[in-house]
Amino acid sequence: MGNPLRPGVFDANAASWALYGPVKGIWRGLEIAARHGVRLSVMTNGVLAEKWPETVRAIHRAGHEVVAHSYGMDVIPAYLDEAQQRENIRRTTGLIADLTGEAPRGWISPRGTGSAIHARLLAEAGYLHHGDCNDDDLPHLERFGGGAEIVGVPLTMDVNDLPSAVRYGNTARAMLEAFEDAFAALIGRETRPAMLDVTIHAHVYGRPAGAWVFDEIMRRVRAAAPEEVWTGTRLEAARHLLAQREALQASP
């Protein structure tokens, strides 16, 4: 926050700012979701599982999807060799499973940046979907040798508080406008279906100054005609794709 400190100096201000997420922000986000009857996909790293176990349990109990988000925000698969990536997947998966009673089925790496082999490693570890992709409008199947496969559920950045507010310094209302423009284009102009992510970080727009945008977006989505808009978790989207494939394979 403000001018960067000298290298090697602990930034207590930045640490406290980030701590707002598990202390307050996530709870406000969960309250908003409950008010609108919406299930979320909540990215959760291993460090959070270790330090805030009751929060992770509460997310799971409320019916939301807990998406694995690496062990820590500085553990990026692109920096790791294959053995390190496998260990990071194993460690993160275990920490979340110990709290929720089930292994997470989805993964999104920090920055949405996997590696050239990471999606395959996730598939081999039993993951159903991942979000380290931006190359399609819809979930799609990725296949690898040996029969391994995983659903790629695109991580769109069009409506995301972190780049909007932190990187570019936009107001909360600017993100609402970005959503409105994208939403109107998808419904009024597009002839094919497409995904639209709304991404809120608990330490950014989990605060009152931005949480109202999350609330307003949900209100507008839920007010839309059900034949035009479907809301759900990433896991539900991945399962829908796989169900469609099974139906096609079963048809004469």
Q: Is the pLDDT of residue 1 over 60?
A: no
Provide the CATH number for the domain around residue 65. 3.20.20.370
Residue 9 placed within a domain: no
Q: What is the mean pLDDT of residues 219-248?
A: 93
* 8 Å CB contact between 60 and 100: yes
| Tokens 């909007």 sit on residue | 164
Q: What's the pLDDT at 250?
A: 76
Crossing angle of helices 26-36 and 208-223, rounded to 10°: 20
- List, in sequence order, every residue forming a beta bridge with 41; answer none if it has no partner: 65
pLDDT, tens digit, 9 for 90 and up, residues 49-60? 999 999 999 999
Bridge-based pairing state of the strands 149-152 and 129-130:
parallel
Q: 4 lies in a domain?
A: no
Q: Residue 249: its pLDDT value, please?
A: 78
**87 occurs within a structural domain:** yes
With beta carbons less than 8 A apart as the criterion, state whether 156 and 179 touch.
no
The domain total for the chain is 1
User: What distance in Å separates the CA atoms of residue 69 and residue 72, rounded to the nearest whole number?
Assistant: 7
Is residue 46 in a domain? Answer: yes
The residue segments making up the domain with residue 204 are 15-250
**pTM (two decimals):** 0.94
Q: 16-47, pLDDT tens digit by residue?
A: 999 999 999 999 999 999 999 999 999 999 99
Q: Name 160's bridge partners.
A: 199
Is residue 182 a part of any domain in this protein?
yes
Confidence of residue 2 (pLDDT cuts 50, 70, 90): low
DSSP class of 5: P
Per-residue pLDDT, 142: 97
- Which residue shows structure tokens 């403000």? 2
Is residue 252 pLDDT above 80, yes or no?
Answer: no
Decide if 1 is inside a domain: no
The answer to the question of residue 6 being in a domain is no
Q: Are 172 and 165 in contact (CB under 8 A)?
A: yes
107 belongs to a structural domain: yes
